[in-house]
Structure 1
Amino acid sequence: MATPSIAPPPPSPSYRTGRLIVATGAVVGVVYGYDTGSISGALVFLSKDFGLNASASGFVNSILVLGNILGALIAGRLSDALGRKPTMVIVAAAYAVFSALSALSPTVVVLDLVRFLLGVTIGVSIVAAPLFIAESTPARLRGAAVAGYQVACVAGITLTYFVNWGLSDGGHWRIMLGLAAIPSALVIIPLLRLPDSPRWYLLKGRVDEAARVMATTDPDVDPVAESAAIQRELEAERGGRGGSLARMVRRPFLRATVFVVGMGFFCQITGINAVTYYSPQIFETLGFHGDGQNFLLPAIVELISLVATVLALFVVDRIGRRVVLLSGIGTMLATLVVLAVVFGTHSLSGAGIWIGFGAIALFTAAFNFGFGALIWVYASEAFPARLRSLGASVMLTADLAANFLVAQFFPSVLEELGATWAFGGFAVLVLIALAFMARMAPETKGRQLEEIRGYWQNGGRWPDDAPPGSLEGGGLSPGGSAAALGTGIATSGEQPRP
């Protein structure tokens, strides 16, 4: 394979371009979080204005999730065809338009239509944004950078609850829904100035551009050598139809597909968005009364979750993905058992109320520490370049299908069966999720994206227990050991470790 004919400029020690990519992705994450959480407060007031019952209120939430599913299904092919950056620009513009139209909706039918289109936008963004970040970030920082997207999402949800609390006295649901249009419009400007990800350029055969961009986004490696090595990996993946769903359900990637579908489904079916969408109703069931109080308490819960998510950002590249993920899921299980006991023993007064509040806060924090932070990391890591965007779409489609079930049916379950059965059922699902993730989740800390391919090809084991960055791991070293892959290009040798 020919090496790039034009040498890129020397690496920038400032990581300026990479940091700008992470920052713009974070703004999109804040908007996603805000649009996801804003309905929790707005629903209380728009249900009264439009005369909605529990089922119709659930549909206002679930229609967004139906749009999410469609968006996630098309996101992979869209981001492969247009590029990661153009897709992000389209997402930001659509967020601005549909957030504004949500605020102006004259009837619930119009609101449902606009929220469906907003949901499609969200579905595209939750595939494209983590992908853009992961493909533009050095391997030693990738986990934290992608987990930072979850920090942004939680920050957006937290902001939502404080806005809802501030606007609850007047019932200003239109303002609650429309505010996201402002940052969405503003982030388009820096997005337009960014390059696409180096790996997308390589997918399109634009090797010189990939090396030039990699010089500014990943100063840890020799960009010429790294680009050539990744290009060799892409050539090795060409068997069959590149990027097709058929390849994902055949060996060696069948195991990876089972893993990402299972992770996506369990991430949502275990109940996090029951709290996000219906927290005022849950707190009222728990024994708290008054709209102001029931809007403030979710804000406090999300602040605690934000701290947990930031903690995940700092440890995910140090102690590893599996430890963070499994400890988060285990804590979720414990808190759901506590909630089921509190509701089951009717301890809804005095200390029981605050124990329940603490369990909800810890449940949400544990989710964001484990599932919430790691789903974006694994979605962007699990597959090789030609399947990566499609794999992320499949994972997040499974996630959103489960989200739809929770959004649509949780209000009815809470009303008809009671909180004990609702949270007890979630506890059983979390137990199943814990067993599944303990069996299936790989430890990808410090591995290059191309290296992870070898894990699945070796039946869910690192070949010969190869250490991170080794060629035996199925890829190349963090220093870009392209010569050992047969490209004939010298590399810079050992790279700094965190």
Structure 2
Amino acid sequence: MASQTAAPPARRRFGTGHRIAFTGAVVGVIYGYDTGSISGALVFLARDFHLNSGQKGLVNSILVLGSILGALAAGRLADAIGRRMTMVLVAACYAVFVALSALSPGIGVLYAFRFLLGVAIGVSIVAAPLFIAESTPARIRGAAVATYQVACVAGITITYFVNWGLSGGGHWRLMLGLSAVPAALVVIPLLRLPDTPRWYILKGRLDEAARVMADTDPDVDPVAETAAIDRELRAERRNGGTLAQLVRKPFARATVFVIGMGFFCQITGINAVTYYSPEIFQTMGFTGSGQNFFLPSLVELVSLVATISALFIVDRFGRRVVLLSGIGSMLVTLVVLSAVFGTGAVHGGGTWVGFAAITLFTAAFNFGFGSLIWVYASEAFPAQLRSLGASVMLAADLVANLLVAQFFPSLLAHVGASWTFGGFAVLALLAISFIAVMAPETKGRQLEEIRAYWQNNGHWPDPHSAPASGVREPRSLLDSPALAQPVHDAGPGPDDRSA
């Protein structure tokens, strides 16, 4: 193991941390673009390749299937080759696979490259937030991770405007392939960045860890902090969590909560809008590529505002208020959509009522589920179970996403829009009931207090009782091992609607 003989000089700036956060945000924009680009491209490639509704669903679901495999492998990959090199690999794969998807001569080849792109996306869901959180100082870490989440939504917004601009000529190959250029270019700054202090510590390279920490976090003593993290990682490996611990008391209730939240986040239909918005607007009565591509752009622009606004109010009004109001608004808008389609009011004023409902539905998702799902995943478990618990949530999220991506076009074609959105409304009702019963209000609570809540079978313990013992908890939520420790499973990710 490398020795630590002298502290490297602390540099009183956040240059490297800011560069890492900015580069990670660029990757987030590219990821968001790749997620949303299919919404416009699918209209034209389905025509060129003569796809039926099941085949259109497979174009999206095969990407989600790849994402599941990528997310499962991401933790071990990031541990083996480093967070930085994992991000380099992700960016390079983005560039290659989106370019090859755009050049696909037939649907079988497109399926293959979409699957491989999905694997890269699954890796990025885990690796990008991990790279940012482990490389930025505590006092800007919250903003850095939040910026990545906002960047993903911004990428989806950009792709809708690009789709609108290219819709007149039906240029689906350009829609899919444009992100190859920034993906290739972002490899250059990634290669110039260091890896994270925690990865160097994981590999026993403590001198390098201290040097990087001195550059990225001048608020701490790099040698002392490196030694402290090394002790924690050793303790966490000794007390490493297992699936058996997740399903037994005292954390079985927390496991049910995160699995349910991950599943309801996606099964209530957000990616039906993300993947198939032009088809939805066409069913709603809008005609012409201009309307069917421009209107989804406005929807995502409103969603971006909702995502940003949630970051400013969640710590003021509390998690439950934000989450329940978001899901409740989703429920109302789904009922409105079901009624609009069911009454045949998809003309005149009814068409614009449907548009408003879609807009508010998407904004409500980003305000509620999108902003809080990973916060709760980080808070539900003690240090040794936190990454594994987040992996379980991600698995439930991706399975639900796979179901929506594959079956939404068939449902729309065979049972109709009214019954489809009515079904989503029933699922949203189940979601809000589940969250109302299961979700604690953790505003202002220390992580140790939240752990005690789950250990006390979903009740806050007597504040005068002795705190639970265990490994030292992080100084803040965003310094938690869920975001800032090496993971061996798929850990928490951004507000990622493909996930």
Per-residue deviation, 1:117: 0.5
Aligned to 2:292: 294
Per-residue deviation, 1:464: 5.6
Unmatched tracts of structure 1, length 5 or more: 479-498
1:272 is aligned to 2:270: yes
Aligned to 2:338: 340
- 1:430 maps to amino acid: A
Aligned to 1:487: none
Per-residue deviation, 1:231: 3.7
Aligned to 2:126: 127
Aligned partners of 2:235 and 2:471 also within 8 Å:
no
Per-residue deviation, 1:69: 1.2
Counterpart of 2:399 (choices 401, 406, 409) is 401
CA distance in 1, matches of 2:284, 2:30: 30
Aligned to 2:172: 173
Per-residue deviation, 1:476: 5.0
CA distance in 2, matches of 1:451, 1:80: 30
Aligned partners of 2:383 and 2:473 also within 8 Å:
no
Q: Which digits, 9 at most, give the CA deviation of each residue in 1:377-402, with x for residues without a partner?
A: 44556556655554443322221111
After the TM superposition, which of the residue ranges 246-255 and 58-67 deviates more from structure 2? 246-255
Aligned to 1:357: 355
CA distance in 1, matches of 2:244, 2:321: 32
Unmatched tracts of structure 2, length 5 or more: 477-499
Aligned to 2:416: 418
Aligned to 1:312: 310
Aligned partners of 1:64 and 1:115 also within 8 Å:
yes
1:96 is aligned to 2:98: no
Residue 68 and residue 74 in structure 1: after superposition, are their counterparts in 2 closer, same or farther (change >3 A)? same
- State TM-score, norm by structure 2: 0.85
- 2:23 maps to amino acid: T
CA distance in 2, matches of 1:356, 1:380: 36
Aligned to 2:187: 188
Aligned to 1:481: none
Percent identity between the aligned chains? 74
Aligned partners of 1:316 and 1:324 also within 8 Å:
yes
1:118 is aligned to 2:117: yes
Residue 477 and residue 410 in structure 1: after superposition, are their counterparts in 2 closer, same or farther (change >3 A)? closer
Aligned to 2:74: 75
CA distance in 2, matches of 1:105, 1:383: 44
Counterpart of 1:369 (choices 349, 367, 370) is 367
Aligned partners of 2:383 and 2:471 also within 8 Å:
no
Residue 194 and residue 71 in structure 1: after superposition, are their counterparts in 2 closer, same or farther (change >3 A)? same
Aligned partners of 2:8 and 2:210 also within 8 Å:
no
Q: Which digits, 9 at most, give the CA deviation of each residue in 1:198-234, with x for residues without a partner?
A: 3334444444444443344344444444444444433
CA distance in 2, matches of 1:260, 1:186: 37
Q: What is the number of equivalent residue pairs in this alignment?
A: 475
Aligned partners of 2:83 and 2:130 also within 8 Å:
yes
Matches within 5 A, 1:120-269: 120-139=119-138, 141-239=140-238, 242=240, 244-251=242-249, 253-269=251-267
SS in structure 2 of the partner of residue 187 of structure 1: helix
CA distance in 2, matches of 1:315, 1:141: 18
Say what the alpha-carbon RMSD is for the aligned residues.
Answer: 3.2
Aligned to 1:496: none
SS in structure 1 of the partner of residue 473 of structure 2: coil
Per-residue deviation, 1:322: 3.9
Aligned to 1:38: 37
CA distance in 2, matches of 1:385, 1:82: 24
CA distance in 1, matches of 2:438, 2:283: 37
